[in-house]
Amino acid sequence: MIKVISWNVRGLGSRTKKKALKKLISKQILSMIFLQETKNSPPDSRFLKYLWSRDAFKGEWVGSNGRSGGLISLWSEQFFTLESSFINHRFTLLQDTINALNIPCIFVNIYAHNDPAERNNLWNELIDVKNLLNPSNLWCIGGNFSIIKCLEENRGISYDLASMSSFVNFINSMDLVDLQLNDGLFSWSDNKEIPTMCRLDPFLLSSDLLTKFPTLHQNVLPKSLSDHNPICLSVEDKNWGLKPFRLFSHWMGDAQFLEMFNNSWQATTDSSKAPGIFNRLKALKFIVKNWQQDYANKDAQRIS
């Protein structure tokens, strides 16, 4: 099972918030947790043991700059084995192996700057880091990105279109996927009578990670003592109903996919048994699903 939570806690100074965080970690039975805006100096081992009291764990962290920033990443030693890490004031990057399946993976806990130029520097830095690492690594990035992808992820705030475009370009350059957010549309609110809300805290995943774990999903957890909701990324042995149909952007660069797609679309056009755009799309979906399964099998062989 994989269960990772990311939460911008907006400070860990109060005893009440520390107790709430400990309760969250214990209740959810986590593999890993990302915390942003801890707003304190590097934590001591006693505090970390207080938070993660369930089993053996490891951690990486970044102290705050005065009353700003601060990151903590904690994980169960049973979940993965850390091989190396890269830490700066805006993210913790953990290069590791998921123990249960012996899969190389990179987990990044991120707290992006509100300034667009600083954010762009962060995007470029992560792209440069990825280009230096083994391309077989799978990526999972969680945290507060301080920007949205499109206007639909916002209610009540004016965002710079150029900044949104830069964020989308970053996601595409990293070959990442932003899963649907379940149990809510937004992850931050100012809690006013007429609230302003945004989707600032998604998990971004390698498309190959979804090949390995096709039932991965992310959920908004109930808001607690921060204006940000915790976000939970998980794979569990539950029946979630029909598996959703996904079309990944990186397939558009696959010559075999494009040939299959064009031939199949033409076939549905020529067939008298599939009139109308809805029936053509429905027929095409089953063809793509069959191709996807074959692609997933080949991808798994390539990754392993």
Which of 185, 211, 235 is where one domain is finished? Answer: 235
Name residue 32's amino acid.
Answer: M
Phi-psi group of 233: left, alpha or beta (phi > 0 → left; psi -120 to 50 → alpha; rest → beta):
beta
Same domain, 89 and 211: yes
Q: What is the pLDDT of residue 175?
A: 94
Same domain, 154 and 294: no
Q: Are 164 and 198 in contact (CB under 8 A)?
A: no
Angle in degrees, CA 21, 22, 28, rounded to 5: 90
Which of 212, 235, 258 is where one domain is finished? Answer: 235
CA pair distance 66, 82, nearest whole angstrom: 29
Residue 118's pLDDT band, with cuts at 50, 70 and 90, is: very high
Q: What CATH number is attached to the domain comprising 50?
A: 3.60.10.10
pLDDT tens, position by position, 57-96: 999 999 887 777 899 999 999 999 999 999 998 999 999 9
> Mean pLDDT over all residues of the chain?
86
Same domain, 176 and 64: yes
Q: What's the chain's length in residues?
A: 304
Same domain, 88 and 147: yes
Judged on CB neighbours under 10 Å (0-12, 13-18, 19+), 141 is buried
In a domain, 50, yes or no: yes
Q: What is the pLDDT of residue 71?
A: 96
CA pair distance 32, 299, nearest whole angstrom: 26
In a domain, 288, yes or no: yes
Same domain, 230 and 276: no
In a domain, 179, yes or no: yes
Domain that holds residue 289: 249-303
Query: Cβ–Cβ contacts within 10 Å for residue 188, how many?
Result: 22
Residue 254's pLDDT band, with cuts at 50, 70 and 90, is: confident
Instruction: State the average pLDDT over residues 130-158.
Output: 93
In a domain, 126, yes or no: yes
Instruction: State the average pLDDT over residues 129-151.
Output: 95
Number of domains in the chain: 2
> Considering only CA atoms, which of 164, 209, 143, 104 is closest in space to residue 5?
143
The full DSSP string for the chain is: -EEEEEEE-S---SHHHHHHHHHHHHHHT-SEEEEE---SSPPPHHHHHHH--SS-EEEEEE--BTTB--EEEEEETTTEEEEEEEE-SSEEEEEEEETTTTEEEEEEEEE--SSHHHHHHHHHHHHHHHHHS-TT-EEEEEEE-SS-SSGGGEES----HHHHHHHHHHHHHTTEEE--EET-S-SEE---SS--EE-----EEEHHHHHH-TT-EEEEPPP-SSSB--EEEEE-SS--SSPPP---GGGGG-HHHHHHHHHHHHHHHH-TTS-SHHHHHHHHHHHHHHHHHHHHHHHHHHH-
pTM above 0.75, yes or no: yes
Same domain, 193 and 288: no
In a domain, 241, yes or no: no
Residue 237's pLDDT band, with cuts at 50, 70 and 90, is: low
In angstroms, the Cα distances linking 123 to 130, 167, 240, 286 are: 11, 8, 34, 36
Same domain, 102 and 210: yes
pLDDT of 280 over the 60 cut: yes
Same domain, 192 and 261: no
Which of 235, 267, 295 is where one domain is finished? Answer: 235
Residue 304's pLDDT band, with cuts at 50, 70 and 90, is: very low
pLDDT of 244 over the 80 cut: no
Same domain, 229 and 276: no
Same domain, 63 and 9: yes
pLDDT tens, position by position, 91-114: 999 999 999 888 899 999 999 999
Judged on CB neighbours under 10 Å (0-12, 13-18, 19+), 67 is exposed
Q: What is the pLDDT of residue 268?
A: 67
Same domain, 16 and 101: yes
CA pair distance 179, 181, nearest whole angstrom: 6
